[in-house]
Amino acid sequence: MDNFEFHLPTRIIFGNGSFSKFAAETARVAQKVILVTGRGSVRQLGLLDKALQLLERAKVEVVIFDRIEPNPRAHTIDEGAAIAGAEKCGAVVALGGGSAMDAAKGIALVAASGGSVWDYVRKGPGIMRPLSSALPIITVPTIAATGSEANSGAVITNEATKEKGVIFGKPLYPVTAVIDPALTASLPPNLTADGGVDILCHLLESYFTGNNESPIQDRITESIARVVIEETPKAVRNGGDLSARANLSWASTLALSGIPESGRMGSFPLHGIEHSLSGHYDISHGRGLAILLPVLMDYTCAKRPERYTQLGERVFGLDLSGATPEEGARQSIAVMRQWLEGLGIELTLRSLGINEERFEQMANDALRLYGRGKDFLENPRPLYKDDIIAIFRAAL
Ligand code: NZQ
Ligand code: ZN
């Protein structure tokens, strides 16, 4: 097992109906807040009105910032931060999916520490502004996917350059996450599926790339992954299945909370590659992951067949006792594809209207933003520029 430090400072309030508690939680932190949300669904679902009523009852003054796009843009976040500063807001409340939560973190950071949010994005060793402080953040997720509700990351897109990069830092941990799975019941099947895939990939990145001597981490990962494999199709079929929604919401939070992979860190090559894809083409992050995941598994499989066989046996329940590691790995990849297709996902880039045109630029971006100063992404089979382009081609 690798050495690690683990500290999750976010207080988590979880359960169907817990939404009603978020305003009182907010009042403990600030008397005036900026409420950050997307451009449509939260208002259309009536959640914004409910949130405003609850905040009024808790005597918290609110400035609404409802301009966050999926794959949130740096310039929109900077505008939100300017408003939060001018209005002297004492905290930031995020009500929405990963995009609203990440944008809220960016707003909280820039409002407290200045500059543009893009200054803080990791662009290689040392090429970023250090994070000093941020306004307190309260998250109320409406999608089970990113885990942003209780982690210290934010993923930001630079619209001008099409780069999509990450910010990490202790000031970005939300003070409180109020996780009400019932808020996710309105998600349509495609977004539910994309969210399930995102959760699964958060679990599998370190499982595929981390060390082989961490049975606690492996078993935690496999248990949550198995639940995601079982529950996502239920929520896709019946959005109102609140039991499935609760399981996915908690899986989302746990998967990227640091718990599963502490001691088995590994790397996040699939995310590095996918972020270039959604940065350039503005597609759903989970959809991009679904298309790339089996391709990356195929590409890497010969380097770690036992690992993939273990996934097939423990997560998908395959009987691979008579199979060689290579055969086991192939069957695991096949069952992964079937599962993804069973969610209604078409596993090709062409289905999203994407062609080869930008593959080279996307590979360069992935290496610059996620290569940690090296000319490859860390993976059991290291991914150099040509490898990343080959993965995009195989995903066409
Ligand atoms: O835009 P609005 O109108 O708000 O609608 C949203 C959006 O169109 C809609 N939506 C949200 N809640 C809903 C709903 N529709 C119906 N019912 C609800 N309850 O869903 C659409 C997608 O929302 P978005 O927030 O973009 O999705 P998601 O939660 O998947 O977040 C994706 C973003 O998070 C980043 C991704 O790269 C992407 O930018 N990630 C953040 C991470 C983190 N901070 O830790 C890690 C992840 O790996 C990921 O990279
Ligand atoms: Zn993700």
Please provide the DSSP assignment of 350-374 as one string. GGGT--GGGHHHHHHHHHHHHSTTS
Please state which of the ranges 121-130, 208-217, 380-389 shows the lowest mean pLDDT. 121-130
CATH number for position 154: 3.40.50.1970
Name the 3-class secondary structure at 157: strand
Distance 164 CA to ligand 2 centre (A): 12
290-342 pLDDT per residue, tens = 999 999 999 999 999 999 999 999 999 999 999 999 999 999 999 999 999 99
Asked if residue 5 belongs to a domain, the reply is: no
Report the alpha-carbon distance of residue 234 to residue 179 in Å, rounded: 20
Of 168, 184, 200, the last residue of a domain is 184
* 216 and 74 part of one domain: no
CA distance 267 to 242: 33
- Bridge partners of 96, per DSSP, are 141
Note whether residue 235 is domain-resident. yes
The pLDDT assigned to 130 comes to 85
Q: In this prediction, what percent of the chain has a pLDDT beyond 70? A: 99
Q: Which of these three, 184, 208, 232, is where a domain ends?
A: 184
Residues 221, 163: one domain?
A: no
| 123 and 86 within one domain | yes
Cα–ligand 1 centroid distance for 197 (angstroms) = 13
Given this model, what pLDDT does residue 123 score? 86
Owning domain of residue 387:
189-394
Is residue 320 located within the same domain as residue 279?
A: yes
Ligand 1 pocket, 142 CB below 6 A? yes
Residue 18 has pLDDT above 90, yes or no: yes
pLDDT in tens, 56-72: 999 999 999 999 999 99
Check if the beta carbon of residue 134 is closer than 8 Å to that of residue 112. Answer: yes
| Ligand in nearest proximity to the CA of 147 | 1
In the prediction, which pLDDT does 155 show?
98
User: Is 109 near ligand 1, meaning CB less than 6 Å away?
Assistant: no
In a domain, 1, yes or no: no
Phi, psi angle pair for 129, to nearest 5°: -80, 135
Considering the chain, what percentage of its residues have pLDDT values greater than 90?
A: 97
Q: Specify the number of domains making up the chain.
A: 2
CATH number for the domain spanning 244: value is 1.20.1090.10
pLDDT tens string 105-141? 999 999 999 999 999 999 877 778 889 999 999 999 9
Q: How far is 185 from 177, CA to CA, in rounded Å?
A: 18
Q: 133 and 29: one domain?
A: yes
SS3 string, 230-265, reads HHHHHHHHCCCCHHHHHHHHHHHHHHCCCCCCCCCC
Q: Could you read off the pLDDT of 154-199 as tens digits, one per residue?
A: 999 999 999 999 999 999 999 999 999 999 999 999 999 999 999 9
Distance 203 CA to ligand 2 centre (A): 10
Q: Which of 162, 184, 206 finishes a domain?
A: 184
Q: Does residue 159 fall inside a structural domain?
A: yes
pLDDT in tens, 359-381: 999 999 999 999 999 999 999 99
Q: Tell me: the pLDDT tens digits for 71-81?
A: 999 999 999 99
199 touches ligand 1 (CB under 6 Å): no
Summary mean pLDDT of the chain: 97
Whether residue 257 is predicted with pLDDT greater than 80 in this model: the reply is yes
255 shares a domain with 117: no
